[in-house]
Amino acid sequence: MAKKTINVALFGSGFMGKAHSNAWLNVGKFFNTKFKPVMHTCASVVDAKDFAANWGWRNVTKDWKAVAADPEIDAVDICTPNNTHAPIALAALESGKHVACEKPLAATLDQAREMAKLAKRRTKQVTQVWFSYRGCPALGLARKFVEQGKIGQIYHVRAQYLQDWGGPSTPLLWRFKSKDAGSGAHGDLNAHIIDSCRFITGQEITEVTGSIAETFIKERAIPEEELGNIKGGKIGKKKKYGKSTVDDAVTFIGRLSDGGTASFESSRLSMGNKNANRIEINGEKGSLRWDFEDMNWLWYYNAQDDSQRAGWQKIMCTDAGSHPFVGHWWPDAHILGYEHGFVNLASVFLDRIAGKKKVEVPAADFNDAYQCQRVLEAALLSAKNRCPIKLSEVK
């Protein structure tokens, strides 16, 4: 029997547009989802004809508003700059579509709140936010270990997301403008590790006790055109400069709902760190450690081992029977990469649309991403006012 199909529309044709196109192209081939996605339309503000043809989008348009309202579209996927998430997602939800949206949920807390409120009212529609690292099997295993009580009460979470592409030669892309991005490294990188903390521990961050935000590169060359990759922009001969209005780095500390302490550090200026998304969790019975640059491995320390054999265990998370998602891919130890995380989460989105109660790993929804946005806001407030901020004060 032919599979049921759902028509997907993609918004944006840049870095994430590519990662998500790959996910929609492959998810139905590797996962036996009830619905098969049809790559119906790609909407971008730039000419995306070549992009759409390359990835197999059947239609292409610059008119995103028409696509958000098009009754032929069942689900939209938003891969555009942060300040455009809210208008696209709200219009799509209003017209009855399922919505998958890139992170951070929005450029501002007000936008994020409105999105989460509407999503809550639209009980028959699925929302998802691409905290893509949830799609890495090792992070799913870390969550399982915490659920199984393997590390006991959590004392510390120590998370970093460090990159180094944001030096002075990187032009004034949308990522450096607060009106487009909301914040800089903070919303871009801390958003991911706040989500990883919530995802693995199942706890909320209840207070930001201190925070520091810094913009080191105050001015950047204005590009004639954005080239659609993280650092890329074509700069004319006569360079004009504009002000960067976002942070380059934000570090903050906070408290978890079960009493543990947590630290989060993000930077685009940590030379030598390319995509160093790392988290370590220390509990009464042991510890967990993960580093995206070695994404197939989870490190586990069992504090109950006798001292003669105690030590960090390096677990390769590629066992079909034991580790999330990998059974859909290759034989054991045939390593997964960055793109698999997106395909894995696309399968969760389709499973949820099909009404499946038990999905492999829970993906973040609009409410999760709104909780994350509250923490982002609390950290910025704490840095600005140089004081602790309770999350109960940030609605």
270 contributes a contact to ligand NAD by CB under 6 A: no
132 contributes a contact to ligand NAD by CB under 6 A: yes
13 contributes a contact to ligand NAD by CB under 6 A: yes
Judged by CB under 6 A, the number of residues near ligand NAD is 24
344 contributes a contact to ligand NAD by CB under 6 A: no
- Residue number, nearest CB to ligand NAD: 14
Select the residue interacting with ligand NAD from 6, 12, 151, 268 (CB under 6 A). Answer: 12
Our measurement of the distance from residue 361's CA atom to the centroid of its chain's CA atoms, rounded to an integer in Å, reads 15
310 contributes a contact to ligand NAD by CB under 6 A: no
To ligand NAD, the closest distance from the beta carbon of 54 in angstroms equals 13
To ligand NAD, the closest distance from the beta carbon of 248 in angstroms equals 16
81 contributes a contact to ligand NAD by CB under 6 A: yes
To ligand NAD, the closest distance from the beta carbon of 70 in angstroms equals 14
Select the residue interacting with ligand NAD from 70, 74, 77, 102 (CB under 6 A). Answer: 102
- β-sheet with 75-78: strand ranges across: 59-61, 35-43, 4-11, 75-78, 98-101, 127-129
Q: Scan residues 28-47 and list those touching ligand NAD (CB under 6 A).
A: 43-46
64 contributes a contact to ligand NAD by CB under 6 A: yes
To ligand NAD, the closest distance from the beta carbon of 315 in angstroms equals 23
365 contributes a contact to ligand NAD by CB under 6 A: no
14 contributes a contact to ligand NAD by CB under 6 A: yes
178 contributes a contact to ligand NAD by CB under 6 A: no
130 contributes a contact to ligand NAD by CB under 6 A: yes
To ligand NAD, the closest distance from the beta carbon of 216 in angstroms equals 20
CA 146 vs CA 16, 74, 131, 303: distances in Å: 31, 36, 19, 14
Task: Pick the stretch among 69-77, 78-86, 252-260, 309-317 that binds ligand NAD (CB under 6 A).
Answer: 78-86
Nearer to ligand NAD, 88 or 315 (CB): 88
Select the residue interacting with ligand NAD from 40, 97, 103, 352 (CB under 6 A). Answer: 103
> What gap in Å lies between CA 153 and CA 268, rounded to an integer?
33
To ligand NAD, the closest distance from the beta carbon of 184 in angstroms equals 11
> What gap in Å lies between CA 353 and CA 124, rounded to an integer?
9
Cα pseudo-dihedral 349, 293, 200, 207, rounded to 10? -110
To ligand NAD, the closest distance from the beta carbon of 82 in angstroms equals 5
Task: Pick the stretch among 5-13, 142-150, 315-323, 358-366 that binds ligand NAD (CB under 6 A).
Answer: 5-13
In terms of Cα–Cα distance, which of 203, 139, 193 is closest to 162? Answer: 193
195 contributes a contact to ligand NAD by CB under 6 A: no
> What gap in Å lies between CA 384 and CA 322, rounded to an integer?
45
171 contributes a contact to ligand NAD by CB under 6 A: no
107 contributes a contact to ligand NAD by CB under 6 A: no
To ligand NAD, the closest distance from the beta carbon of 175 in angstroms equals 8
199 contributes a contact to ligand NAD by CB under 6 A: no
In terms of Cα–Cα distance, which of 322, 347, 376, 339 is closest to 138? Answer: 322
To ligand NAD, the closest distance from the beta carbon of 188 in angstroms equals 6
82 contributes a contact to ligand NAD by CB under 6 A: yes
- The residues that touch ligand NAD, with contacts defined as CB under 6 A, are 11-17, 43-46, 64, 79-82, 84, 102-103, 130, 132, 188, 226, 228
